[in-house]
Amino acid sequence: MYIEIIKGFLKKHGLTVLFGIFILAAGFALGYVPRIAEKKEEIIVEEKINADAPKLSKNARITYEYRYSDGVTETRDESLPCFLAEMTEKSVEESLGDWELVEFAPESVVIRKILDEKSGQNYILGVYNGYIAVYYENTENGEPTLKEVTDRHISALSDNEAEALIQGVSVTSDDELFRLLQDYGS
């Protein structure tokens, strides 16, 4: 039933439909094809500009900076990943995603990522005025920074535990810090 209706419509209006399709195709070709040519010209001009731009050497170094919400910045220096070799500054910026380009030179690049989390901060368990205290391990000047003082006096500990705290107990994670504070009864 529907097929007969369509056949009848095409017999009556077939030439009009073909003309409409032709007009649509011509409009597409006239509107879209020049834009493709313009885009190719833009790419060629950009490639000429980039040909003169400094590029990363295959032997370049990359420094990753991680900035944590607690103000700590950790850096890691490595060989440049192969996919970044021979890239211009603009190309590197476009490929970084959520990293920020900080410095660019043919032999080195520095990128930064800001993290909304605490760093893997190291601590030192020690003593402050006779009480168990937690210090931030400060790698910049070597002096620990007081974080908090507990309400647990070292006189309640064994002599070995008290001596260890007086010397300073290095702690490498928040989990370890929590466990040691529990062990010392704080």
Please report, for the domain that includes residue 100, its CATH number. Answer: 3.10.20.420
Q: pLDDT, tens digit, for every residue of 27-66?
A: 666 665 556 556 656 555 555 555 678 888 999 999 988 8
146 and 169 within one domain: yes
pLDDT at 183: 82
Specify whether the CB–CB gap between 126 and 168 falls below 8 A.
yes
- Structural domain containing residue 21: 1-52
129 and 178 within one domain: yes
68 and 45 within one domain: no
130 and 107 within one domain: no
42 and 7 within one domain: yes
pLDDT band at 179 (very low <50, low <70, confident <90, very high): confident
104 and 65 within one domain: yes
Q: State the Cα–Cα distance between residues 186 and 181, nearest whole angstrom.
A: 5
Counted domains in the chain: 3
Per residue, the 3-state secondary structure of the chain, as one string, reads: CHHHHHHHHHHHHHHHHHHHHHHHHHHHHHHHHHHHHHHHHHHHHHHHHHHHCCECCCCCEEEEEEECCCCCEEEEEEECCHHHCCCEHHHHHHHCCCCEEEEEECCEEEEEEECCCCCCCCEEEEEECCEEEEEECCCCCCCCEEEEEEEEEHHHCCHHHHHHHHHCEEECCHHHHHHHHHHCCC
Length of the chain: 186
Minimum mean pLDDT range among 32-41, 128-137, 141-150? 32-41
135 and 166 within one domain: yes
Its pTM stands at: 0.44
Q: State the Cα–Cα distance between residues 70 and 123, nearest whole angstrom.
A: 14
35 and 3 within one domain: yes
